Amino acid sequence: MLAYKFDWGVLWRQPYGEWLLQGLWMTIQVGALAWVIAFILGLLFGTLRASTWWPLRFIGALYVEVFRNIPFLVQLFFWFYAGPMLFGKTLQFKINSISGLHYYVAVVALGLYTASRVAEHVRAGFASIGHGQYDAVLSTGMTHLQMYWYVIVPHALRLIIPPLTTEFLTIFKNSAVAMTIGVAETTFMSYKIDEQTFHGLEATTGAMAIYLVLGMTVVKLMNLIETKYRIPGLVTR
Amino acid sequence: MFDAVFTNLPYLLGGFLTNVQLAAFALAGGLFLGALVGLGRISKRPWVYHPVTLYVNFLRNIPLILVIFWVYFVMPILTGRSMDPFISAAVSFVVFEATYFGEIFRAGFQTISRDLVSAAYSTGLTYRQTAAHILVPIAFRRMLPSLITQSIITFQDTSLAYVIGLQEMVRRTTIVDSIEVRSIQLYSFVAILFFVICFIGSRISLHYEEKSRKAKVL
C-alpha cells in the first residue's frame, strides 16, 4: 500500500463541490438534448426499417449499421475535428469560431449515435405487433401514413418503454465521453479536480455517486411513465 | 486521398494492435469473471447473491470512462507504484465488462431446466462440476449471439483507453492529426477499420442467431 492520504473534503470544499454540481447539470443537458435528437431520428429510421419498399428499408439499415459499428469516441472526434472541414475552407473557420462548438457537437454526435440504437428497439416494437392489426387498420380505409401515425407507432412506443428506459440511462453514461472534446460534464469535472488537487480517487468516487443518483432518478421517472402508459390487459410486474 | 494515412500506416496499425490486445484481455477475463458473476446472480445463498447483485447494479449505472479513471487512480494506491496504462485499462475492462457478460450468462442459465440440473446432481456431480460441465457450456452456446454482440461492444470500448494516455489507435490518430492536419481522411480511416471488423462480427452473431432459431433450441 502506498501511503495515500485520503481527503474526502475535495467533494464539498469550494470550488470543487460546485464544479461537480456544474458537471451534473451539463451531463443532464447534453443527455436530455441528445435524447430529443435520438428519439426523433430513431423513430424515423426504425419506421424506415419496417417499410415494405426495399430502398427505404436499405436506408434505415445503412444508418443503423454505420452508426452502431463505429465506436462513439471515433464518431465524436470525426464530427469535432473533421466535421467543420467538410464545409470547405471559408466556412470551416467560421464554424470553428462558434463559441461552445464542442457542446453542440457533443449533443448532435450523441444524438446521432443513440438514434441507431433507438431505431433497433422501434423496429423490434413494430415486429412484435401482429400482422392482423396492420390488416385491420388498412381495412378501415386508413392510408399507410395514417396507419403508422395513429395506430402502429403509439402501440409500438408503449411496448418498447422498458428498452427505451435502458437507452435513456445509457445516453447519460455515454455523455461522459464528451469530456474528451472538452465538454465540462461530471467526469470532466472530476478529472479537473484531480489536476488541481491530485485527489482523483475521491473526485471520481464522488462522480460515481452522482451517476448512481442520476440513474436511479431516471429509473423512477421512467417507471412513472411506464405505469401511466401501460397497455391494459398485458402482463405486467 | 489517403496520403497521410499511408505515410503513417505502421504507426496507426501498431495502435490498432493495442486495441486488439486489450480486447483479447478484456474478453478472456470478462467472460471468465462474467460466468462466475452469472452463477452468483442465480445463487440461492444470500451472502453470494446480494454482493454480486450490488456489484452488477453498481457498475452498470456508471460510465465506463469513469471506471477507467477510477481504476487508474486506485491501482497505484493498492500496488504502491505507478501503473502502466495498458494493465490499468485491462483491469478496468475485465471488471466492467464482467457485469455485462454476467447478465447475459444469467439469462442463459435461466433457460436451463431444473430437471437437467437435478439429473446432473443425481449422477454424483458436485456443484462445481455441474457449473463447469453443464451450466456454463449450455448457457454459452445458447447465448452465443448476445455474447458476440457484447464482444463487439467491448472491442469498440477499447478506444476509450485513450483517456488515460494509452497508445491505442485513436490516441495515435490524434497525434498524427496534430502533425499532418488531415482530420477527414485520418478519422475516416479509423472509422472504416472499426466498421469493417464490427460489421463482420455482427454478421457472425446474426448467423448464430438464425442457426439456433432454425434448430429450434430455445
**Interatomic CA distance for residues A180 and A195, integer angstroms:** 15
Q: Tell me: the pLDDT tens digits for A217-237?
A: 888 888 888 888 777 766 554
Chain B, nearest residue to A64 by Cα: B199
Q: How confident is the model at residue A202 (pLDDT cuts 50, 70, 90)?
A: confident
For cell 429509473, name the residue: A219
Chain A, nearest residue to B72 by Cα: A201
pLDDT at B218: 45
Q: Tell me: the pLDDT tens digits for B161-198?
A: 998 888 888 898 888 888 888 888 889 999 999 999 99
**Interatomic CA distance for residues A191 and A187, integer angstroms:** 6
Which residues, numbered 127 to 166 in chain A, qualify as contacts with chain B under a Cβ-Cβ cut-off of 8 Å? none
Is B66 close to A82, i.e. CB distance below 8 A?
no
Res A2 pLDDT > 60: no
Q: Tell me: the pLDDT tens digits for A64-95?
A: 999 999 999 999 999 998 887 888 777 777 77
> Is A2 near chain B, with CB under 8 Å?
yes
User: Which domains, from first to last, does chain B contain?
Assistant: 3-214 (1.10.3720.10)
3-state secondary structure of B91: helix
**A33–chain B nearest CA distance, Å:** 18
User: Which domains, from first to last, does chain A contain?
Assistant: 20-228 (1.10.3720.10)
**A211–chain B nearest CA distance, Å:** 6
Is B65 close to A176, i.e. CB distance below 8 A?
yes
Question: Which residues in chain B have their CB less than 8 angstroms from residue A81's CB?
Answer: 177, 183, 187
Taken in order B209, B210, B211, B217, is the CA torsion positive or negative? positive
Q: Tell me: the pLDDT tens digits for A96-118?
A: 777 788 889 999 999 999 999 99
**Interatomic CA distance for residues B110 and A126, integer angstroms:** 27
**A204–chain B nearest CA distance, Å:** 6
- Which of A218, A41, A21, A165 minimizes the C-alpha distance to A113? A41
> Is B194 near chain A, with CB under 8 Å?
yes
Most B CBs within 10 A among A79, A167, A208, hence the mutation to make, goes to A208
pLDDT at B23: 93
Taken in order A126, A128, A134, A135, is the CA torsion positive or negative? positive
The full 3-state SS of chain A, as one line of letters, equals: CCCCCCCHHHHCCCCHHHHHHHHHHHHHHHHHHHHHHHHHHHHHHHHHHCCCCHHHHHHHHHHHHHHHCCCHHHHHHHHHHHHHHHHCHHHHHHHHCCCCHHHHHHHHHHHHHHHHHHHHHHHHHHHHCCHHHHHHHHHCCCCHHHHHHHHHHHHHHHHCHHHHHHHHHHHHHHHHHHHHHCCCCHHHHHHHHHHHHCCHHHHHHHHHHHHHHHHHHHHHHHHHHHHHCCCCCCCCC
DSSP symbol at B70: H
Burial grade of A124 (CB within 10 A; 0-12, 13-18, 19 or more): middle
